[in-house]
Structure 1
Amino acid sequence: MKKTLIAAAVMAASGVAFAASNVTLYGVIEEGVVVSKAKHGDNKVELASGFAQGSRWGITGVEDLGNGYNVGFVLEQGFSADNGAEGTAGKAFNRESFLYVKGGFGSFGFGRTGALSYAQTQAILTGWAFGTSYGGSSWTSAIANNFGRMDNVLSYATPSFNGFTGHVMYSNGLTSDSAKWSDNNHYYGIGVKYQANAIKSSLIFEAADNKGTAVPAKTAGDLLSMQEYFLVNGLDEDKDGNKVEYATWSKDKANKAEYEKWAETELATAEEAKRPIYVINYGLEYNLGSWTPMFAYQFAHQNNGRRTHMFGLSTTAQLGGGKAMFGARFVFGKDFQKKVGANDVKVDGDVRAWTIGAGYEYPLSKRTAVKAYAGYADSGKAWKEVEDVAYNGYQVFLGMRHSF
């Protein structure tokens, strides 16, 4: 009630009428210390905001229209508690800016929000104890394929039918829809969620056509000529520092073959960025009272890009007056990327990775909790040398969250 009155006072002071609306101000502040080390990297100690739960403040409002209909909104802005920076530069409400109508037909809304497999009010992802947070254990970490928050969204959810709800989401442009329709980067999502008694489950299919934000396809004229390639790559000197003439170097069949392979890869990579990607997520949770076992699966496919399967087993449990979380997952498949991780590793072939994590949240009060986490990741085959804690390395976190 107090938060509602404060929000009402803010609205009134700004000259905005809110009549019969119920307006609430809320927020979360989380801060902690993260100790991490990636393979071949340095030990790092960082003060981090929102490692387990993003720091944010927001305003929600609902107005009853009568006859079972109501209109509501969500305005939510993320920020970094350690330096006060806004979540996304230039966006006043980067986490969510959403207007919706609810009634007997279900719920329809539009604005900026998270994908069905991500977070925010329209998300339905289930089956993973750490959700979309907790660093390397996040279901949306670097080894996974997920869609995040998007602009220009239209979202519809059906009423519940014996615990089942249907969900459809479309983005007319993930970051912009000012170009002609065929040049915008579109998102398409459809999902089903079941929640009744002790069971919670979801099945989600999502795709992005990768048009507007993709790297434009290169032509042969966009590439370095063989002579430019020779000079840019420092091939005009041998290993002893002696000068090499281009005319001599270019006559070597091996050198010519190397250049042609490079050019072919450059063209293929540019074209690959424009190929659509498809992702399926399935999750299942069964509440047994003091603990909830979970299963999650993801399949991702992009022609000549990433094609992976990811399996996760996890659980939450009531332990020592708080909530414990444990999870392990395994990823395998194929990947093709020009740059992966901090050391510019190029990947083209079979990949695999596994991650384990454990977390604990202990409430000091209804609004304040202490949080801890430890996670470890190890990868093999083409991901073996990637210098990123999501692939290879460890993280330890200790922090505090306060909500209002």
Structure 2
Amino acid sequence: MKKGLNTIFKATAIASMLAAGSSLAAPNTTIYGVLDTGLVYTHLNLDNGTDSTDTLSMGSGISKGSRWGLKGSEDINGAKVGFVLESGFDTDNGAYASAVGNRLFGREASVYASGRYGEIAAGRLQNLTAGFGSWGIAAKIISPFAHGWGGGYLGGYKTVFGFNSGRTDNALAYKTPTFGGATLYAAYSGKTDDLKNASGVENKSSSDRYGGLAATWKHSALTLFGSAEWIAWSNTAAATRKADDGYAFTLGGNYKFAPVMVFLAGQYFDNMNGLPTPYELTRLKKGTDAITKGWGVLAGAMFPALAGTFKASLGYRDAELVNDSDYEAKRISASLAYQYNLSKRTYLYAGASYIRDKMDFGRSETKPSEFSLVSGLCTSF
């Protein structure tokens, strides 16, 4: 795969140099960014004999992940060849965003080519059920909060789903042209994370591998999404060496009853290595075993009011350990947020979220809960 990526990068560079010396087309490059900073209050009760905690802190990327990036493209003989380089960071301390690790372009690093037969991309890309970047297509269709405000401040769909959608290294992705409102997608990664599994070999059982198929369909006020995703777990990692392949099936959509947009989605998942992070208040595991299965549903709405936009969602999840069904986690999640646009690029926001779990560990039961309040400012360039 690395040789293939190097070939693609070289071919793109050669094509760019040839185009620069001809009259085919002028290249187009854009610098862009998002800065989101706010305050977060959290009341956490783990129901484990310890006192509940109250925290107030500054947060980054609460409603949108803070980032800067470069996009460029040019037309070559009727096709478009381009790239996306996107870096995530925290505005409260200037560090790399924790979600992308120690990567300069951890949010996305890709080259692509598109034309009459669709689009193909290669590099560090998003899972098809993610809610950000060029290839994360699901979240904005199935949830008013897209991928979740800032990875856990308010309840996006990952709060109640079981597939931990994010980004993958060494990825190839393809989407078809749109026919009759329908678009098909396919993605594959032979090694999903070079940093966490440096010793793993690409396209071998020593590495986690990912594959996904998805489709979207839009007609008038209705937009639908469906996907089937697969993960072959590394047989060298202690947490997954005995786990079967993981699967997740997601179906959802939205409908606009002007001016209100409603959302509904569901997911079934099996053989997942833990539930999506950082959303677990208490981990569902038995010893070191955290391989889970279950289902989740989410309903939401988005509507204008008070000169701004309100977003609301309500979700439920029922999960258990694959190897011991007495270990269960049931969850309800509710969120409400308000956004007020100061301009086309800048808005104020405020929101509240409540999560309550019922954790059953065979002979014991706990009911941890979390209540959060957020408020901040987001601007883009």
> By the TM > 0.5 criterion, same fold?
yes
Q: 2:30 aligns with which of 4, 24, 29?
A: 24
Equivalence for 1:107: 119
Equivalence for 1:401: 378
- Whether the 8 Å contact between 1:185 and 1:213 is mirrored in structure 2 is no
- Whether the 8 Å contact between 1:77 and 1:94 is mirrored in structure 2 is yes
- Whether the 8 Å contact between 2:233 and 2:240 is mirrored in structure 1 is no
**Contiguous gaps of at least 5 residues in structure 1:** 1-15, 216-268, 338-345
Letter in 1 for 2:27: S
The alignment status of 1:90 with 2:59, answered yes or no, reads: no
- Whether the 8 Å contact between 1:117 and 1:146 is mirrored in structure 2 is no
More helix by share: 1
Structure 1 vs Structure 2 CA RMSD: 2.4
Mapped partners of 1:162, 1:373: distance in 2: 38
Mapped partners of 2:159, 2:330: distance in 1: 14
Range with greater deviation from structure 2 (39-48 or 110-119): 39-48
User: Partner of 2:205: helix, strand, or coil?
Assistant: helix
Equivalence for 2:337: 359
The alignment status of 1:63 with 2:71, answered yes or no, reads: no
**Contiguous gaps of at least 5 residues in structure 2:** 1-16, 21-25, 47-51, 195-199, 273-288
Q: Matches of residues 5-404 of structure 1 in structure 2 within 5 Å?
A: 19=20, 20-40=26-46, 41-67=52-78, 69-87=79-97, 88-118=100-130, 119-125=132-138, 126-134=141-149, 135=152, 136-141=154-159, 144-176=162-194, 178=201, 181-211=204-234, 214-215=237-238, 271-272=241-242, 274-302=243-271, 305-335=291-321, 348-382=326-360, 385=366, 392-404=369-381
User: Partner of 1:361: helix, strand, or coil?
Assistant: strand
More strand by share: 2
- Whether the 8 Å contact between 1:146 and 1:279 is mirrored in structure 2 is no
Q: Alpha-carbon deviations, 1:257-281, whole Å to 9, x = none?
A: xxxxxxxxxxxx7654x33211111
Mapped partners of 1:140, 1:56: distance in 2: 21
Structure 1 residue 57 displacement after superposition: 0.4
Mapped partners of 1:144, 1:195: distance in 2: 26
Using structure 2 for the length normalisation, give the TM-score. 0.79
Structure 1 residue 143 displacement after superposition: 6.0
Mapped partners of 1:150, 1:137: distance in 2: 23
Range with greater deviation from structure 2 (176-185 or 150-159): 176-185
Mapped partners of 1:53, 1:374: distance in 2: 16
- Whether the 8 Å contact between 1:107 and 1:157 is mirrored in structure 2 is yes
Mapped partners of 2:295, 2:209: distance in 1: 24
Mapped partners of 1:335, 1:323: distance in 2: 39
Mapped partners of 2:187, 2:349: distance in 1: 33
Change in CA separation of 1:386 and 1:86 when aligned onto 2, cut-off 3 Å: farther
Percent identity over the alignment is 26
Change in CA separation of 1:357 and 1:42 when aligned onto 2, cut-off 3 Å: same
- Rg larger in structure: 1
Using structure 1 for the length normalisation, give the TM-score. 0.75
Structure 1 residue 25 displacement after superposition: 0.6
